């Protein structure tokens, strides 16, 4: 009975990688490293079949799969459960990084990668799940914008807004402190976590994605403002004050 409870509490990770050497190495490493439940898939179709049954907390997803684009698979999975996604890529240029994050991934790593670093990044991502379930979080309403941390939903004018898990956490944090200016370093510390080891420009990418979904005019944002040379702040629209 106790072992069943422990299995229920263990975080579930799905590894989607067509290279059997990488897939098996990551699978075995994570299986031995932490009390994780691990499943693996070599292609997109198999991944979706396992995803529906397994309902993972995190997906480690290769961008280049033999039967489909990893970006499309990332979006489909997140639309279903808002699962966290860490993408793997062999490209190291800045353009690829921006593309990966703008497609909804919560983090990314370039191949070849260090397994110990992978473990740290996974721990940081999964910690956000505990943060977002805090009973102290309250629903926020600013005019037509509603942010509900219990249902993990954002509505604009009554319509659901499709945010990734990280986008939701970032928006909720900013909206919880209207008028306060936060630097990139502040936001990384508060939303990503102290152990974040990636490019701080990820903040800009995710702010841009959120604006596309909640702002009427992204060239003149009314909710999330850029403070030149400093960072970002959330301002309540006039009708909600």
- Are 156 and 214 in contact by the 8 Å Cβ rule? The answer is yes
**Residues spanned by the domain of 87:** 2-132
- The confidence score (pLDDT) of residue 6 equals 42
- The confidence score (pLDDT) of residue 134 equals 47
Same domain for 174 and 120: no
What letter does residue 67 receive in the DSSP assignment?
Answer: S
Could you tell me which residues come within 8 angstroms of residue 166 by beta carbon, excluding any fewer than 6 positions away? 84, 106, 128, 191, 206
Give me the residues paired with residue 61 across strands: 16, 87
Same domain for 106 and 69: yes
- Are 89 and 63 in contact by the 8 Å Cβ rule? The answer is yes
- Are 184 and 233 in contact by the 8 Å Cβ rule? The answer is no
Same domain for 157 and 191: yes
Q: What is the pLDDT along the chain (241 residues), one digit of tens a residue?
A: 344 434 446 889 999 999 999 999 999 999 887 779 999 999 999 999 999 999 999 999 999 899 998 888 998 888 788 789 999 988 777 677 777 777 778 888 889 999 999 998 898 888 775 444 444 568 899 989 999 987 888 999 999 998 887 888 899 999 999 999 999 989 988 888 766 666 778 899 899 999 999 998 988 999 999 999 899 999 987 654 4
pTM for this entry: 0.62
Residue of 37, 97, 38, 105 whose CA lies nearest to 70: 105
Same domain for 145 and 121: no
Q: How far apart are alpha carbons 147 and 26 in whole angstroms?
A: 36
| Residue ending a domain, choose from 87, 109, 132 | 132
Same domain for 120 and 11: yes
Cβ atoms within 10 A of the Cβ of 35, count? Answer: 10
- The confidence score (pLDDT) of residue 183 equals 94
Q: How far apart are alpha carbons 152 and 214 in whole angstroms?
A: 16
- The confidence score (pLDDT) of residue 10 equals 83
Total of domains in the chain: 2
- The confidence score (pLDDT) of residue 137 equals 65
CATH value at residue 176:
1.10.10.10
- Are 103 and 73 in contact by the 8 Å Cβ rule? The answer is no
Same domain for 98 and 161: no
CATH value at residue 33:
3.40.50.2300
Same domain for 113 and 160: no
Q: How far apart are alpha carbons 80 and 31 in whole angstroms?
A: 25
């Amino acid at each position: 009975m106790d072992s069943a409870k422990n299995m229920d509490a263990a975080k579930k990770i799905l590894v989607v990688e067509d290279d059997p050497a990488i897939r098996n190495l990551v699978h075995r490493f994570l299986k031995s490293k932490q009390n994780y439940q691990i499943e693996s898939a070599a292609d997109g179709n198999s991944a979706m079949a396992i995803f529906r049954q397994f309902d993972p907390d995190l997906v480690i997803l290769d961008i280049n799969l033999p039967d489909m684009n990893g970006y499309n698979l990332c979006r489909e999975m997140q639309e279903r459960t808002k699962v966290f996604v860490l993408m793997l890529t062999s490209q190291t240029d800045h353009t690829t990084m921006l593309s990966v994050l703008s497609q909804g991934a919560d983090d990314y790593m370039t191949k070849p990668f260090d397994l110990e670093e992978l473990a740290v990044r996974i721990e940081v991502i999964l910690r956000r799940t505990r943060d977002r379930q805090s009973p102290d979080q309250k629903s926020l309403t600013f005019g037509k914008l509603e942010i509900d941390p219990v249902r993990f939903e954002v509505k604009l004018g009554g319509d659901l807004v499709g945010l990734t898990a990280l986008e939701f956490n970032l928006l909720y944090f900013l909206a919880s402190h209207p008028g306060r200016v936060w630097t990139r370093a502040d936001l990384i510390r508060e939303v990503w976590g102290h152990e974040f080891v990636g490019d701080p420009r990820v903040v800009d990418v995710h702010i841009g994605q959120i604006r596309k979904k909640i702002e009427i005019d992204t060239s003149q944002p009314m909710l999330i403002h850029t403070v030149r040379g400093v960072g970002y702040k959330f301002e309540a629209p006039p009708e909600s004050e």
